Amino acid sequence: MNKSIEAKEPVRILIVDDEEIIRDLLYDALSQTGYKVKVAINGRDAVKQIENEPFEIVITDLRMPGISGIELLQHVLKMNPDVCVLIMTAYGTVESAVNAMKLGAYDYICKPFELEEMKIVVEKAVERQWLLRESRMLEFYRHLSITDGLTKVYNYRHFHEFIERELQKAKRNSSTFSLLFADVDDFKVYNDLNGHLAGDEILRELASIFLNTTRKTDFVARYGGEEFTVVLPETTINAGLGVANRIMKEVRSKKWMYADILSNKGITMSMGMVAYPKDALSKDDLIRKADDAMYHAKRLGKNRVCYFKEDVIVEVE
């Protein structure tokens, strides 16, 4: 067996057969190889165990009383399509095993079998499951690398990657997109009075509002500190301002804990909106202008949305 597999957490295997001698033979051979093995005496027993434990490989006889191997195969793959199901069949029913593979079985083992040949088939399934595990782990770490740990929206670095791609796409397609910058008003005051844990909860709840008031195709990120940004693909400035107003409405109407000590008697945000190509043609200019519009909203008294009307920053009426 591959040394790298031996060093890893054992793969969980379920053996399903109504013949005790077959169950015992497979259990002993695979347990000694280092796998975590359990047995089921029939299809119903297998279903019960699978519902309670995440097996990665199921080795099942094709013909069993009650639930057949084919029915078990379909049930297993419906619950988890990533499970490797290996079908055991007599030589005379190989055609049925091939049909099972067409239904999603990974491979089959012919009875009577040589233990070494059986182990080779199982090792192929184990290798496949390890590749799946590693791909999930890579995806997990990739997700961590692009996600803000506190709010679970995208992070600053991934925002810059995304807006650059969106800009190139808009240039190729002669399309538009809008960019929103939003900053929490008086957040330092709130933090100083209520503590950073309470402030963190405000940021998490704000992130949820942003996600719930935008489309799945929109891009929400925490730009840093108490500042959020949203990229709205295929969205004009007027449509983007509509999104900003929806977010503002949700923020203003929410009952925020311990926020009555703030000047606006609640959590509010100042926002700036720009659009490509109306307001700027480069990433840096779009970001700078969105930031300028946001801080103009701060200067006007906070709790409002500003945007560029021609070259002048104005407040949304």
Instruction: With CA atoms as reference, report the closest residue to 307 among 267, 285, 279, 277.
Output: 279
Consecutive H or E run containing 172: helix 156-173
Q: How many other CB atoms sit within 10 Å of the CB of residue 286?
A: 24
Judge whether 302 and 262 are in contact, CB under 8 Å: no
Interior angle at CA 43, CA 42 and CA 44, nearest 5: 95
Options 226, 250, 310, 315, the catalytic residue: 226
Among this protein's residues, is 123 annotated catalytic? no
Q: Collect all residues with Cβ–Cβ distance below 8 Å to 104 and sequence separation of at least 6.
A: 73, 74, 77, 81, 85
Judge whether 279 and 308 are in contact, CB under 8 Å: yes
Q: From CA 86, how far away is CA 271, in angstroms rounded? A: 57
Q: From CA 231, how far away is CA 247, in angstroms rounded? A: 14
DSSP string, 213-271: TS-TTSEEEEEETTEEEEEEET--HHHHHHHHHHHHHHHHHS--TT-TTSTTSS--EEE
What is the 8-class DSSP label of residue 280?
A: -
The count of C-alpha atoms lying within 13 angstroms of the C-alpha of 78, restricted to the half-sphere facing its C-beta, is 8
Give the residue numbers annotated as catalytic, written as ranges: 226
